[in-house]
Amino acid sequence: MKMLIGGEWQDRDNKIDVCNPYDNSVIDTVPAGDEEDALAAVESAVRGFAIMKRMPTHERVSILRKTAEIVESRQEEFARTIASEGSKTIHEARKEAGRCANTLSWAADEARHIEGETISFDAAAGSENRVGYYYRFPIGVILAITPFNDPLNLVAHKLGPAIAGGNAVVLKPATVTPISALKLAEAFLEAGLPAEALNVITGHGGEIGDVLVSDPRVRMVSFTGGPEAGEQVVRTAGIKKIGMELGSNSPVIVMADADMDLAVESCVSGAFWAVGQNCIGVQRIFIEEKAFHPFRDGFVSLTKKIKVGPQLDESSDIGPMITEKEAIRIESWVNDAVDEGATLLTGGERNGSCYAPTVLTDMPEGARVSCEEVFAPVVILYPFTDLDETIQKANDTSYGLLAAIFTKDIDVAFHAVYELDCGGVMVNDSTDYRVDHMPFGGVKRSGLGREGLKFALQEMTEPKVVCLNLQDVGSRRKR
């Protein structure tokens, strides 16, 4: 496929192979954009913003709704693209394509609700003659940098609110999964989006990332990725708005009074969805000691039933990791933990880019697999007796995206809600639960700001104050 710059689909002699991670077969190629392309994309977006900021709300709503309809009508095509270039199975990819259509529809709804309010200027002495209000206006060119693990819906989470707010976008999709984003751009153009309002540049982040991020014409960077890359964005960006989601090390607490079947099924799904390459995937599970063995046995039994296979095989439960390099990384982390004393309950086997769903316990303190974000199909079980100590352990991480607790005791649930240091707490659901219109984001190294359509739209617009000094009104008051 070609990249979209300046309203035209452009190719380059220098190519990047897009490969199926299961067998490394080439499914397509995309241009390897360079610094010149990056600057051209921003220049085009500046021109696109001049159009978008004057576009009536109803036109933006229409474009977003039509794009959602196109995605929905081509859901299977999008799903097969997601599954071919990424790690998700066809079942998981179909759900992502459906979510993308919903995300864009919600963005259209939110475009109608970009509102301000009146301001009581006369509440201040000396301002008796003044009346006014504020309204929200688009901020300009937004740079969206998206990851490989949700190559369609996370793109929609950035494009939807940006376009709803009247902005223009330069999109840099993940190098290994750019095709889903390019197909979504095609849908936007088909729906009537002005061509220069959306530029999609493909290429290696190390070659074009800093050029895009540092450009002063870019007024916001919306980034989803790893914390190291996020720190580089902050160092490079300069004075502009930044929104970023940087991952997690998600804790789940299971109390003895919980519905064990629900807890086991939810946590297995939460740990291994998208082969664990999920920023809100379950990583650490703390189980009250009296329920530890039943939970452990049920969790391991259900995990062993998961079938690893090709993404497009309807019988596959999970697919490969995004690259063999990533599979080798997590194999090394798990092996190191086992060498240091961890107990392997199931899994721990690698076959090329595939890594078996893995469950560990007796984890030694300081092991990377417990302290860092695994971003892999690996989960750790811990027994506990004291809830407050466990909450402290759950919080003892540099991340803070989502956490979860399973319990039938409402007092215990709310105690955890208020004490867990994170951006959201799921009660009787795993950390993997998310709806696309909720505020989504975290604290500490998990990121800055919030996604979710209404909340991202607030980030992608600014308030402007309008104050009128009405002299005639003032003179009448004096009479």
> Mind telling me the catalytic residues?
245, 279
Q: How far apart are CA 229 and CA 199, in angstroms?
A: 22
Q: How far apart are CA 220 and CA 361, in angstroms?
A: 43
Report CA 389 to chain centroid distance, whole Å: 30
Q: How far apart are CA 205 and CA 187, in angstroms?
A: 25
Q: How far apart are CA 104 and CA 71, in angstroms?
A: 9
Q: How far apart are CA 443 and CA 2, in angstroms?
A: 37
Of 380, 333, 336, 335, the closest CA to residue 361 belongs to 380
Regarding beta strands 218-224 and 141-145, do their DSSP bridges make them parallel or antiparallel, or are they unpaired? parallel
Residues 173, 155 contacting (CB under 8 angstroms): yes
Enumerate the H helices of 324-441 as residue ranges.
324-339, 368-371, 387-395, 410-419
Which helix (H) or strand (E) segment holds residue 380: the answer is strand 378-384
Q: What one-letter code names the amino acid at 44?
A: S
Residue 437 three-state SS: coil
Q: How far apart are CA 381 and CA 113, in angstroms?
A: 44
Query: Bridge-partner residues for 5, per DSSP?
Result: 8
Backbone angles phi, psi at 467, to 5 degrees: -125, 130
Q: How far apart are CA 261 and CA 269, in angstroms?
A: 12
Dihedral Cα 379, 383, 385, 390, nearest 10 deg: -20
Of 157, 246, 203, the closest CA to residue 18 belongs to 203
Taking CA atoms, 68 is separated from 50, 71, 106, 120, 457, in Å, by 24, 5, 9, 40, 18
